[in-house]
Amino acid sequence: MIKEKAYAKINLFLNVLSKRPDGYHEMDMVMTPLKLHDLLTFKKIKENKVEIISNKQITENNEDNVIYKVASFIMSEFEIKEGVEINIKKNIPIAGGLAGGSADAAATIRGLNRLFKLGMKFDEMAELGIGFGADIPFCIYNKLAIVQGVGDKIQFINAKLKAYVLLVNPQVPVLTKTVFENLDPNEFSNRNYTEMVQGLRNRDVGKVMNNLYNFMESTTFRLEPKVKDIKNELQELGTKGVLMSGSGATMFVLNRKKKYLENIVSQLNGAYYTVLTKIL
């Protein structure tokens, strides 16, 4: 039996540069893993199949789950004759812009690599993962990084930011595909992440907070006003360092002090699903 932690992520910086001829988008992102994680347990079974057990329903059918797709591909590609049971304890909000599905898929690649002694190195696992999702290569490594292209270009940032993160989720799913389909190409910009990276390398939480950016916010706000409501409410409380992660629906608040974030939770009065965690 093998266990793997699937860590959530947030985007400290996210810019969409252009739409490619193949329909994918060129992006510039700065991403960090969080301590919040799902826990996956892998166990060999005699029957040659992929069996998924989860404490929460992720997709209507297991076959539509990216975990199932990744596992089935690996079993076929490496001609594995045994089967695998994958037990998932979900803690990351589903369709929340926190790479929960990608983190689970990455953990599945790492877990099966260990369980069946496949000998894949990290770069090989990342290359396998990119075919199933843009965030999967980042989630293979779980390191603070600049992520570019379609998630395939990763440059690690040698820094450790000591900060707490409050996640605020309206518990409405936002589909990444829908957000991308509704982006306005006329709004694409060349905004860069230089200041953000400088803040990270200098371990300057204040500078990081001042340079948080997510191009997708305006589109998601149009599609799902409840996400915008969260940001408005947080800002009305005088909160700084607020940004939407990924395509939403989760907003996060970054701060050095845990008590500051605990105070925000109390002021929200249980209106939203909240998780207090920290940067990994």
Helix (H, G, I), strand (E, B) or coil at 26: strand
Q: Is 9 a catalytic residue?
A: yes
Q: Which of 121, 180, 130 is nearest to 152 (CA)?
A: 130
d(CA 14, CA 31): 8
Catalytic residue, candidates 28, 104, 135, 228: 135
Query: Residue 167 in contact with residue 246, Cβ under 8 Å?
Result: no
The strand pairing partners of 167, in sequence order, are 252, 275
Catalytic residue, candidates 9, 69, 104, 228: 9
How remote is the C-alpha of 210 from its chain's centroid?
Answer: 21
Q: Which of 116, 97, 101 is nearest to 248 (CA)?
A: 97
Tell me how crowded residue 202 is: count the other CB atoms within 10 A of its CB. 12
Catalytic residues: 9, 135
